[in-house]
Amino acid sequence: MEIKSVGVVGAGQMGNGIAHVMALAGYDVRLNDISQEALDKASALIRKNMDRQVSREAITAEERDAALDRIRTTLELSQVAKTDLVIEAATEREEVKHKIFEALVPELAENTILTSNTSSISITRLASRTDRPERFMGFHFMNPVPLMQLVELIRGIATDQETYEACLNVVETLGKTAASAEDFPAFIVNRILIPMINEACYTLYEGVGNVRSIDMAMKLGANHPMGPLELADFIGLDTCLAIMNVLHDGLADTKYRPCPLLTKYVEAGWLGRKTKRGFYDYRGDSPVPTR
C-alpha cells in the first residue's frame, strides 16, 4: 500500500504542521479548511517556519521551494478525499470529526486510508461511522509538529495490519519515531501528561503555590523544559479540559475529575497563548502570571 499523496483536514496549529512535514518528506499535500482565511494564514506560517529552517541550515532553499510547491490548499473536502492517506486534524470535538468523516466517505478512493490526529477520542468509535474501519487508525502528532519526534499510532479494534504498516512507513519516512498505543482514552502521552497538568491546576486552585512557583518547581525540581501551567497555555486550556473530560467519562475514575479552576478559565475564554490569556497574560512584552 504505497502512499504518495496526503490530505490534511484542518489548517490550524496541528494541520499546518502536518502539511509542513509531509511536504518536506516528498508527499503531495492537499490542505483543507472551511475558511480561506485559515488556509492563507497556514500557508504563510508554513513558509515562515520553513524559512527559519533554511536560516538554521536544517534544510536548503531548494528543499523549501520544492516542499512549498507540493502543498495545495482547498476549501473542498472532495479534493482531500482523492489522496492516498487522509489525516483529520480538526478541533478536538467528536461530533465535528464524525461530520468530517461522513462528508469524506462518499468521495474516497477505494484504498484511501483514513486517520485522525485526535489526542484522546476513541479510534474504534470514529472508525465505526465510516465505510472502512479496517483502513482507519489514529495518527497522533505532537505539537509543534516540525520539531517533535514522536507520533502515536493507535489501532482501533478493526484496524488491519496492512494499514498499520503503511502508516508506520510514513512515520519513518518523516524521520520521526512511532509509539504504538492501544485504543484507550487519551492513549499514552496524554494519559500521563494531561492529568499532571490537571494536578498542577489543583495545586494552584488549593493555594499550595502560585503560577510562577508551580512552574519553577517542576522546571528546576523535575528538570522539565516547561512548567505544567506554561505547557497548558501552549497546548490550549480548552484542549486540556476536553482530554480530561474524555478520561473522566471513558474511565469513570474520580482521579480524572477536571479541576474547577481549569473549567473556569475555559469558561472565561482564557485558553492560553492562542487567546493571549491563560495562566499567563501574553499581551505585554513578557508573560505575566494571572494568579
Q: Grid coordinates in use for 150?
A: 514522536
Query: Which of the residues 122, 152, 198, 230 is marked catalytic?
Result: 152
286 included as an active-site residue: no
The C-alpha atoms of residue 22 and residue 170 are separated, in whole angstroms, by: 9
**For 133, what's the count of Cα atoms within 13 Å in the CB-facing half-sphere?**
11
The answer to whether 11 is annotated as binding is yes
Query: Which of the residues 43, 140, 198, 230 is marked catalytic?
Result: 140
5 included as an active-site residue: no
The answer to whether 209 is annotated as binding is no
The answer to whether 149 is annotated as binding is no
Query: Which of the residues 119, 120, 122, 198 is marked catalytic?
Result: 119
The answer to whether 276 is annotated as binding is no
Query: Which residues touch 182 (CB under 8 Å, ≥6 apart)?
Result: 154, 155
The answer to whether 264 is annotated as binding is no
Query: Which of the residues 16, 32, 190, 198 is marked catalytic?
Result: 190
119 included as an active-site residue: yes
The answer to whether 14 is annotated as binding is yes
The answer to whether 12 is annotated as binding is yes
The answer to whether 221 is annotated as binding is no
Task: Provide DSSP, the chain.
Answer: ----EEEEE--SHHHHHHHHHHHHTT-EEEEE-S-HHHHHHHHHHHHHHHHHHHHTTSS-HHHHHHHHHHEEEES-HHHHHTSSEEEE---S-HHHHHHHHHHHGGG--TTPEEEE--SSS-HHHHHHTSS-GGGEEEEEE-SSTTT--EEEEEE-TT--HHHHHHHHHHHHHTT-EEEEE-SSTTTTHHHHHHHHHHHHHHHHHTTSS-HHHHHHHHHHHS--SS-HHHHHHHH-HHHHHHHHHHHHHHH--GGGPPPHHHHHHHHTT--BGGGTBSSEE-SSSS-EE--
The answer to whether 97 is annotated as binding is yes
The answer to whether 15 is annotated as binding is yes
Active site residues: 119, 140, 152, 190
Question: Which residues are annotated as part of the binding site?
Answer: 10-15, 33, 92, 97, 119, 143, 274
Q: Which parts are annotated binding residues for NAD(+)?
A: 10-15, 33, 92, 97, 119, 143, 274
